[in-house]
Chains A and B, each alone.
Chain A
Amino acid sequence: MGHGRYIDPFLERRPDYVIGQGEQLSLEFVILPGEDRSIDLGIDLAGEGASLDVKIVYLSGYSEKVDIKLLVHHRAGGCSSQQRIFGIASGSAQVGFYGKVVTAPDAQKTEASQLNRNILLSDAAQVRTLPQLEIYADDVKCSHGATIGRLNEDELFYMRSRGIPEAEARALQMLSFLSPVVPEGQQERIEAAVRSILPA
């Protein structure tokens, strides 16, 4: 039976990754200060039980343009996908995120989650986020979340009252914010990057 508005998102473009039955794909990206970056990925979960894990961290503190586009298609049932895109924008960086999750009519038992969290450290920087869910199957658990915010002042106060200098406290806050998406072995690079974009 035809289904209202559903259109296979990979009719007009080819997916960059196709995940087959029972396969797992894990993607990690680190975008460092000074780097203009455009990521545009199409991922097709084509076989039953396929799973996807995407982690993206960005740190932008100058006048970078960061543009992240993800298109995740749950073609087959019983697949799971998780996307986490965390980052910090300072200086006059322009960050855009567009993340679309499409669940095909027959992709029952789909579990999809997407979380885009952004910290804006300066008024000249800008973050725009467009998380999109298109769901055409009913027995699914799909969610997305997006936040744009600032560093918590209470946490900062707590650390300062224990003698941690302000810059150090802010760096710690940022590191803890990013920690869920920092790939293994990248800890030191991220730490250096965080300190480099701290507002004076």
Chain B
Amino acid sequence: MAEDRIIDKITSGEYKEGFVTDVEQDLLPKGLNEDIIREISRRKEEPSWLLDFRLDAFRRWQKMPMPDWAQLDMPRIDFQDIIYFAAPKKDKDRPKEIDPALAQTFDKLGIPLNEREVLAGVVAVDAVFDSVSVTTTFRKTLSEKGIIFCSFSEAVREHPDLVRKYLASVVPPSDNFFAALNSAVFSDGSFCYIPKGVRCPMELSSYFRINARGTGQFERTLIVADEGSYVSYMEGCTAPMRDEQQLHAAVVEIVVEKDADVKYSTVQNWYPGDAEGRGGILNLVTKRGICKGSGSHLSWTQVETGSAITWKYPSTILKGDNSSSEFYSVAVTNNLQQADTGTKMIHLGRGTRSRIVSKGISAGRSQNSYRGLVRMGAGAQGARNYSQCDSLLIGSLCGAHTFPDIVSHNSSATVEHEATTSKISEDQLYYCAQRGIDPEEAVGLIVNGYAREVLSRLPMEFAVEARKLLQVSLEGSVG
């Protein structure tokens, strides 16, 4: 039974993805300047417009202050003490093959790099190891339908027109400090284009792995769903256990054209640091989609269990009339983890609808904040938003916070926001204890029930993974 396996996994409960793969790596020297950016661009054999884009972003970034408005104790980041590019060395004799050590790494993480069926069907994977994409599976099957799914670097080489048209169209380099940094030094990520009227036959998935010490990962993902198309995209991530903190500053852009439907799911399981708060990933991410055409739909689902610090607000601009978007989130923090996460729903078009369901769980000495923005523009006739943000506290040393910002400029729009904060009730624990369920397991059960509305939105593979993660993350938080 799957259930038994899950419980077995819980009892072992440490960060099982924390190993390091020993591969020879090609590293750029530490530090950030225009020469480093030129070198990244040269290694990736990029066209000159992209180098100019990077340099322009870098110059803007140098003038920007690091944001400090979040409810986070952010360590000082020395941007000159980071390696901005790390790639596993290619074996010259067989460049077409994947290095067996890398294949093994992904296999250990449960990510199939050979094209085989997993649990509930077929998933195409783009696997990113430090700064480069290792492989993308099922490309042939997908290309028969006209779907482009490849690493970002490849897209730049093979589909420059598409990349140039959509890159930075949703998140401009000047958007914020970390988006500017990413625009200057982004390494690899996924590119996905679904042509008009095509329903993507399988789940697309990107898996990000940080391996090299002292590096930062700057993923750049661009998803374009043309008129009437559909795609479900999943993203997962892990990193080794280390005492120093590592930076992950990604930008994800999603363009949803008329009547298209995009479902974006994340299970974020970066290394959270140890119980004393040493190490862990600083996950500082800008994710934004635009529902460009009428009737378009974008759905965000995220399960955030990892990272020492999470700073992430997947957002939707509802521009097309009658477009709609949802944000479903579970964020778990334990020990000394800090999360400041939420969403923005910017209603511009008529009849646009959005729904926000956020479930925060804080344990240990962690701090967990929901931060959201709902804006009803002057043109958002009859627009509708509903937000529900719940926080669950486990233990008396953690904090749970809610910071919504709601603005309406339209008398026909309706916005509703609701938030509650409470703890697991003694009654619930008592009930479980009566039935012989120990407290730790009972908390796992209750938390899973509490987060169910969000977990049920995840694709099958992810849902199983997410349930396990929730339990592991809360390990040791009771008693």
Contacts and interface: CB of A to CB of B under 8 A. Distances in A.
A156 interface: no
Contact of B421 (A131, A133, A149): A133
B414 A149 contact: yes
A28 interface: no
B401 interface: yes
A169 interface: no
A148 B414 contact: yes
Contacts of B338: 4
Contacts of A6: 399
Interface string B57-73: 00000000000000101
Contacts of A131: 402, 404, 417, 419
A120 interface: yes
Given A5-B367, A146-B417, A138 B396 contact: yes
Q: How large is the interface on A (under 10, 10 to 19, 20 to 34, 35 or more residues)?
A: 35 or more
B400 interface: yes
A133 B422 CA distance: 12
B162 interface: no
Contacts of B409: 123, 126
A126 B71 contact: no
A147 B421 contact: no
Contact of B399 (A4, A121, A127, A143): A4
Interface string B389-423: 00101111111111111111111111111111111
B371 to A, nearest CB: 10
A175 interface: no
Interface in A112-126: 118, 120-123, 125-126
Interface in A96-131: 105, 108, 118, 120-123, 125-131
Interface of B: 71, 73, 338, 365-367, 376, 378, 391, 393-423
B411 A123 contact: yes
B418 A133 contact: no
> Chain A interface mostly helix, strand, loop or mixed?
strand
Contact of A134 (B366, B399, B420): B399
A142 B418 CA distance: 11
A123 B420 contact: no
A129 B402 CA distance: 13
B408 A126 contact: yes
Contacts of B419: 131, 133, 143-145
Contacts of A144: 402, 417-419
A106 B449 CA distance: 28
Given A129-B405, A133-B402, 10 more contacts: A5-B71, A118-B408, A131-B419, A133-B391, A133-B419, A134-B71, A134-B401, A140-B421, A149-B414, A150-B413
A127 B407 contact: yes
Contacts of A135: 391, 393, 399-401, 421
Given A4-B367, A108-B396, A146 B421 contact: no
Contacts of A128: 405-408
B425 to A, nearest CB: 10
Given A123-B378, A126-B409, A135-B421, A148 B415 contact: yes
A162 interface: no
